[in-house]
Amino acid sequence: MNHQVLAPAGPLSSEIAQLFWVFVAVAAVVYLLVIGFLVAALRRRNEASMRTALRTVSVAVAITSVILLGLGLSDFFAGRALAATPHDPLRVRVTAHQWWWEIEYSDAQPARRVRTANELRIPTQRPIELELTADDVIHSFWVPSLQGKKDLLPGYTTRLDLIASRAGVYEGQCAEFCGFQHAHMSIDVIALEPQAFTAWYDAQLSAAAEPQNPVAAHGRDVFLGSTCVMCHNIQGTDASAVAGPDLTHIASRRRLAAGTVPNNPANLAAWIRDPQALKPGTHMPATQLAGDDLAALAAYLSELR
């Protein structure tokens, strides 16, 4: 599984996981000691002397103070390590919506800014600085294998650093309750080797692929002639709305509808036909399409790599 706090895939999450094990070890010792004393007190045959009891209590209090101080300090230093400002980070703006993630890579040249959704591709070994905000209600960005969580709040921009040590897919989920589909608001962080990342990034800069066959071409017509264009954008076509996720390269993504189902043509068609069946309450309405039109639309979108 790729969404585990205790299976870290980066230095930041490793730091936290190590600290967690320290706390767990200390907690286990404390627990066993206290319960040991309790059982001894319950099972004793003779009354313990008051002096011994009071002395034990005092010692226990003193030890507790030392332990708490130690834990507090270890947390403080871990926190400082995590808060260190990264060098030359890749900046990405993440805007949370009910119930999907809008992602925009920043670049000095506006033409080189990539917009995508629900899938954050990052190069390995390079620090990523996320600028987080929310469009509607409060959400929380949480990819356990890479980093602790950070809230996305309307009216605020919060920051979170990520580093992935090795390539892989790390799943995350919105951690702050945000309405009907809080359960289906996943994000995939896909760490790529730097060259692979650059290749992917350049591919994302291109406009949507032209349909390669008549079915897909018909699918594009269906897209542009139906309800889809009210919310979605496909670079290189007339569809330029921003209410829903950008679909320019939708076929390159792992999952659909913020992690609700794997991305394949069948799921895509099912999702378009009746999103409310897969994700009740989602803002995407059902689209009334004839069978052929639906198949063509799915075929078109499946080509948008």
Q: What share of the chain is helix, strand, coil (3-state, %, to 5)?
A: 40, 20, 40
**Is residue 37 at the binding interface for another protein, with CB under 8 A as the rule?**
yes
Q: In terms of DSSP bridges, do strands 255-256 and 168-173 run parallel, antiparallel, or are they unpaired?
A: unpaired
- And the tokens for 1? 């599984």
Tell me how far, at minimum, the Cβ of 68 lies from another protein, in Å.
5
**Is residue 267 at the binding interface for another protein, with CB under 8 A as the rule?**
no
One-letter amino acid identity for 281? G
**Is residue 47 at the binding interface for another protein, with CB under 8 A as the rule?**
yes
DSSP 14-63: HHHHHHHHHHHHHHHHHHHHHHHHHHHHHH-SSPPPHHHHHHHHHHHHHH
Q: Site mask, another protein, residues 6-35, x = CB under 8 A?
A: x------x-xx--xx--x---x--xx--xx
Cα torsion angle, 105, 15, 193, 142, sign: negative
Binding residues for another protein, total number by CB under 8 A: 92
Q: In terms of DSSP bridges, do strands 168-173 and 158-162 run parallel, antiparallel, or are they unpaired?
A: unpaired
Q: Which one of residues 100, 105, 142, 223 is an interface residue with another protein (CB under 8 A)?
A: 142
| 271 class by beta-carbon count within 10 Å (0-12 exposed, 13-18 middle, 19+ buried) | buried
Q: In terms of DSSP bridges, do strands 90-97 and 128-134 run parallel, antiparallel, or are they unpaired?
A: parallel
Which range, of 102-110, 111-119, 202-210, 283-291, touches another protein by CB under 8 A? 283-291
Residues 154-173 that bind another protein (CB under 8 A): 154-156, 158-159, 171-173
* Residues 166, 48: Cα–Cα separation, whole Å: 58
Q: Site mask, another protein, residues 85-124, x = CB under 8 A?
A: ----------------------------------------
B/e letters for 115-133, b = 16+ CB within 10 Å, e = fewer, are bbbbbbbbbbebbbbbbbb
Q: Which one of residues 50, 108, 111, 290 is an interface residue with another protein (CB under 8 A)?
A: 50
Residue closer to another protein, measured from CB, 32 or 199: 32
Cα torsion angle, 4, 253, 199, 243, sign: negative
Q: Which one of residues 95, 116, 118, 147 is an interface residue with another protein (CB under 8 A)?
A: 147
Tell me how far, at minimum, the Cβ of 108 lies from another protein, in Å.
26
Tell me how far, at minimum, the Cβ of 37 lies from another protein, in Å.
5
Q: Site mask, another protein, residues 227-246, x = CB under 8 A?
A: x-xxx---------x-x---
Residue closer to another protein, measured from CB, 203 or 230: 230
Residue closer to another protein, measured from CB, 17 or 209: 17
CB 259 within 8 A of CB 170: no
Q: Which one of residues 14, 165, 267, 287 is an interface residue with another protein (CB under 8 A)?
A: 287
Q: Which one of residues 78, 167, 209, 295 is an interface residue with another protein (CB under 8 A)?
A: 78
Residues 176-235 that bind another protein (CB under 8 A): 176-183, 225-227, 229-231
Beta bridge partners of 96: 101, 134
